[in-house]
A and B are shown apart, each in its own frame.
Chain A
């Protein structure tokens, strides 16, 4: 493969060219209620060639790898329609590495289908049998074994094996017309061991779905909100992290003014980091999809904006250092600026210290999803508890938080010392590329005056 890729990258006529090829094998099992819903196996082989001519990008994606040189020529022909300036790509070290698969206690490719099905079914049954209110379930297992090959016209080459196992557990409880669901998942770049020992998660999902039936909806309004670690991590990722992706910023003067380094962005309690080199993180890789070594980057330090995430192009155009954040979700996509493992650094103190003086507030936990549109963010907690007179009080459902990120970051007034990483199997979406595995971490965080949607 390497030789063919390198041959195709000779004499392209482009200022820069690269090929990324990916071979993947995946197995998927899904239960819905008592019955198996789907079982499928897929194999794929495909790639993307990118070329730059005078600063303009051309992209060719393909399944047919028989004529790579033609794909690179096609990418270069596309690039020539775009380029009118000067090609600027940050200088990086030339690499030549074969990255082995992360340790797998048990390689899932050798696990019989019957066993994968049995393990999945067992969690499914556990949820269905836990409580009479559980109407149905959605339980899924997915493993992917992915081999990525990368070569560019500067002579860099790497090969990486990326296994991934995800188990997702959803319990659906119903009383009359009221339907409530609760979700737990886990996902890691490792072997079949990821899928084992998840009984407690299954029980937690079923118990919570049943109890949400009894829970009132959160009343709309402004609250002092304490986020648990998982939701704090989603907040850092969704509300702030996406703004630090330089492809939104580098050619937009207004965004550059808004995101000027050195600006006070949040309270002094707040530091946010992205680190793709972290060991064992869900978003960890030694190199990004442009062959740039990953590293730890402070985005906010003590409330001050100190960094952002880059591809080689955005780093060069902004005169900043590369960060190793150009990532592609699969063979059919070019790399774009993405987060890796993003977290709020721990402060000090415990959860109890955050709620002690809150008369009426909301403790929001876990997430269903989150979305941003630059300054505006919306994220949905999976469930919440009212905080009354410094104590965690009754369970509430439908907790949707929204607001302006710049104002909200300044209202973070306390960050506890209990950093934890979300053990979720989900991923991030951007530019049609989803789900990209990312790490999400945070301690408990308190924010003043957050708008909570809901009925009056």
Chain B
């Protein structure tokens, strides 16, 4: 059917690409201490891109049987589409990266229910007052990409997800804490995940006072989203090409403290964004972005690369990052805390991406964070914000942690910034 679509497209188009994804998802969700729902999903996504007179048109459908009408819609749209001075890539060997664990789709609904239940029980055992939500889920996606340059690649992708969170209400005070495990292979350790969530509640048992002023801030691996999300906008090749990124003229310059190294890597076995090819059939790879504080490169897709006079980095379409990896440093999290006289540990925030993130600004509520006094965590910080600018903060990285941890598509150690503005509430 896909071949037929390609043939049809090439009667009018000089290039064509057809992508098909079939996905199945199975999940079990607990809310407020109870198993609330079990779900099964089946979906199909067909995407057609054609290049006609050096312009691109895109169409989508949810039924592979619609390929012919999708092709004619894409051709009709291409007349008005964006300029495409590139060709779809021909066959090239992608990295030997693992993206599918057959144990994932063999997991029964009963097992999902049971492992969610185990996480719930562990949080309840620590404190029965905590209201627990949990989710366990898997997905299996079969993808195929065929284009007019002779590329025809297929791959299976699995994901296995575990999530547990709790809410503790005392008067009008509510505390949320939780943990997420998201990986392409079936490696969820439900007990360990629940124990990590319990650890967060333990640390937050006491609250501590914080006053409005500049102080050192330690971002945990999860808290590092505050720094990484604006930075990922800045290294997106399209934002660079359009002049939106504050990094556009800074290639080769020092933008972060020595010791801060960041890569985009779509070739880590079983990592959430890993794949042999990106969405345009370009092999995924590891891209050095910041090496020892120096900006080394941006991320590109085919269209943007052709306009910027570069090569695709395997981040198409859209120039978005695959997996973001911050290299580990030498200092343990404990040592980082120990060396802090007065500061804040930021674990989870509220309001991410609402500031002028393209400019690097952040101003977020600390949903879960801890006060450090004289080298010790003394309690949870409440009603406070942390604010600053990523591009001001990166040169002031004081320490990079030795222990990396994954959160969604980001893998980072804890990172300590010499000082940031903390604004305390009433």
Q: Report A's interface with B, CB cutoff 8 A.
A: 29, 32-33, 35-46, 56-64, 74-75, 78-79, 81-82, 113-114, 117, 135-136, 172, 174, 177-181, 220-222, 247, 251-252, 254-255, 258, 332, 334, 368-380, 397-398, 400, 402-404, 406-407, 449, 451-456
| B80-A39 in contact (CB<8A) | yes
Which residues B55-95 have CB closer than 8 A to chain A?
Answer: 57-63, 66, 69-70, 73-74, 76-77, 79-83
Q: Measured between alpha carbons, how far is A258 from B172 in the docked complex, in Å?
A: 7
Q: Provided the pairs A41-B73, A220-B212 are in contact, do residues A371 and B350 lie with their beta carbons within 8 angstroms?
A: yes
Nearest-CB distance from B344 to chain A (Å)? Answer: 14
Q: Measured between alpha carbons, how far is A46 from B62 in the docked complex, in Å?
A: 8
The 7 A-B residue pairs whose C-beta atoms are closest, nearest first, are A378-B351, A254-B169, A42-B60, A453-B385, A78-B38, A380-B354, A220-B423
Name 23 interchain pairs, CB-CB below 8 A, sorted by A.
Answer: A39-B57, A43-B62, A58-B38, A59-B40, A62-B43, A63-B43, A63-B44, A63-B62, A64-B42, A74-B40, A81-B109, A82-B36, A113-B80, A117-B80, A135-B242, A220-B212, A220-B421, A255-B169, A371-B351, A371-B354, A400-B351, A400-B354, A407-B426
Chain B residues whose C-beta falls within 8 Å of the C-beta of A78 in the assembled complex: 37-40, 109
Which residues B26-40 have CB closer than 8 A to chain A?
Answer: 28, 31-40
| B387-A220 in contact (CB<8A) | yes
Of the listed residues B32, B70, B351, the one surrounded by the most CB atoms of chain A closer than 10 A to its CB is: B351
Which bucket holds chain B's interface residue count?
35 or more
Q: Does B209 contact A (CB under 8 A)?
A: no
Chain B residues whose C-beta falls within 8 Å of the C-beta of A371 in the assembled complex: 350-351, 354
Nearest neighbor of B214 in chain A, beta-carbon distance: A456
Q: Provided the pairs A404-B172, A406-B172 are in contact, do residues A33 and B242 lie with their beta carbons within 8 angstroms?
A: yes
Of the listed residues A117, A220, A397, the one surrounded by the most CB atoms of chain B closer than 10 A to its CB is: A220
| B82-A35 in contact (CB<8A) | yes
| A376-B383 in contact (CB<8A) | yes
Q: Measured between alpha carbons, how far is A369 from B354 in the docked complex, in Å?
A: 6
Chain A residues whose C-beta falls within 8 Å of the C-beta of B35 in the assembled complex: 56, 81-82
| A402-B383 in contact (CB<8A) | yes
| A454-B421 in contact (CB<8A) | yes
Of the listed residues B238, B387, B388, the one surrounded by the most CB atoms of chain A closer than 10 A to its CB is: B387
Q: Measured between alpha carbons, how far is A39 from B77 in the docked complex, in Å?
A: 7
Nearest-CB distance from B361 to chain A (Å)? Answer: 6
Chain B residues whose C-beta falls within 8 Å of the C-beta of A255 in the assembled complex: 169
Q: Measured between alpha carbons, how far is A218 from B358 in the docked complex, in Å?
A: 18
Q: Does B378 contact A (CB under 8 A)?
A: no
Nearest neighbor of A45 in chain B, beta-carbon distance: B62
Chain B residues whose C-beta falls within 8 Å of the C-beta of A172 in the assembled complex: 244, 358
Q: When each residue 392-415 of chain B gets 1 if its CB lies under 8 Å from chain A and 0 otherwise, what string results?
A: 000000000000000000000000
Q: Provided the pairs A43-B66, A220-B423 are in contact, do residues A402 and B387 lie with their beta carbons within 8 angstroms?
A: no
Q: Does B203 contact A (CB under 8 A)?
A: no
| B44-A64 in contact (CB<8A) | yes
Chain A residues whose C-beta falls within 8 Å of the C-beta of B350 in the assembled complex: 371-373, 376-378, 402
| A61-B34 in contact (CB<8A) | no
Chain A residues whose C-beta falls within 8 Å of the C-beta of B207 in the assembled complex: none
| B425-A403 in contact (CB<8A) | yes
| A136-B244 in contact (CB<8A) | yes
Nearest-CB distance from A118 to chain B (Å)? Answer: 9
Interchain CB contact (< 8 A) of A451 among B59, B109, B353, B423: B423
Nearest neighbor of A407 in chain B, beta-carbon distance: B426
Interchain CB contact (< 8 A) of B61 among A42, A75, A258, A379: A42
Q: Does B220 contact A (CB under 8 A)?
A: no
Interchain CB contact (< 8 A) of A135 among B62, B169, B243, B353: B243
Interchain CB contact (< 8 A) of A41 among B59, B244, B383: B59
Nearest neighbor of B59 in chain A, beta-carbon distance: A41
Chain A residues whose C-beta falls within 8 Å of the C-beta of B60 in the assembled complex: 40-44
Q: Provided the pairs A78-B109, A81-B110, A378-B354 are in contact, do residues A61 and B244 lie with their beta carbons within 8 angstroms?
A: no
| B43-A61 in contact (CB<8A) | yes
| B37-A82 in contact (CB<8A) | yes
Which residues B343-357 have CB closer than 8 A to chain A?
Answer: 350-351, 353-356
- Which of B119-127, B293-301, B362-370 contacts the other chain? B362-370
| A39-B58 in contact (CB<8A) | yes
| B39-A114 in contact (CB<8A) | no
Q: Provided the pairs A39-B58, A63-B44 are in contact, do residues A56 and B37 lie with their beta carbons within 8 angstroms?
A: yes
Interchain CB contact (< 8 A) of B42 among A44, A62, A181, A406: A62
Q: Measured between alpha carbons, how far is A32 from B242 in the docked complex, in Å?
A: 8
Chain B residues whose C-beta falls within 8 Å of the C-beta of A42 in the assembled complex: 59-61
Q: Measured between alpha carbons, how far is A177 from B83 in the docked complex, in Å?
A: 28
| A455-B421 in contact (CB<8A) | yes
Chain B residues whose C-beta falls within 8 Å of the C-beta of A63 in the assembled complex: 42-44, 62-63
Q: Does B232 contact A (CB under 8 A)?
A: no
Q: Does B96 contact A (CB under 8 A)?
A: no
| A368-B82 in contact (CB<8A) | no
Q: Measured between alpha carbons, how far is A180 from B357 in the docked complex, in Å?
A: 10
Chain B residues whose C-beta falls within 8 Å of the C-beta of A456 in the assembled complex: 212-214, 421, 423
| B355-A368 in contact (CB<8A) | yes
Nearest-CB distance from B45 to chain A (Å)? Answer: 8
Chain A residues whose C-beta falls within 8 Å of the C-beta of B212 in the assembled complex: 220-221, 456
Q: Measured between alpha carbons, how far is A453 from B109 in the docked complex, in Å?
A: 45
Nearest-CB distance from A124 to chain B (Å)? Answer: 13
Chain B residues whose C-beta falls within 8 Å of the C-beta of A251 in the assembled complex: 31-34
Q: When each residue 239-251 of chain B gets 1 if its CB lies under 8 Å from chain A and 0 otherwise, what string results?
A: 0001110100000
Nearest-CB distance from B123 to chain A (Å)? Answer: 14
| B167-A374 in contact (CB<8A) | yes
Nearest neighbor of A137 in chain B, beta-carbon distance: B242
| B426-A449 in contact (CB<8A) | yes
Nearest neighbor of B81 in chain A, beta-carbon distance: A39
Q: Does B18 contact A (CB under 8 A)?
A: no
Q: Measured between alpha carbons, how far is A64 from B355 in the docked complex, in Å?
A: 41
Q: Provided the pairs A39-B80, A179-B359 are in contact, do residues A379 and B354 lie with their beta carbons within 8 angstroms?
A: yes
Chain B residues whose C-beta falls within 8 Å of the C-beta of A174 in the assembled complex: 243-244
Nearest neighbor of B423 in chain A, beta-carbon distance: A220
Chain A residues whose C-beta falls within 8 Å of the C-beta of B69 in the assembled complex: 43
Chain B residues whose C-beta falls within 8 Å of the C-beta of A452 in the assembled complex: 423
Chain A residues whose C-beta falls within 8 Å of the C-beta of B173 in the assembled complex: 375
Q: Does B1 contact A (CB under 8 A)?
A: no
| B423-A221 in contact (CB<8A) | yes
Chain A residues whose C-beta falls within 8 Å of the C-beta of B356 in the assembled complex: 179-181, 397-398
Nearest-CB distance from B181 to chain A (Å)? Answer: 17
Q: Provided the pairs A179-B359, A379-B354, A453-B385 are in contact, do residues A373 and B62 lie with their beta carbons within 8 angstroms?
A: no
Nearest neighbor of B69 in chain A, beta-carbon distance: A43
Q: Provided the pairs A174-B243, A179-B244, A453-B363 are in contact, do residues A59 and B39 lie with their beta carbons within 8 angstroms?
A: yes
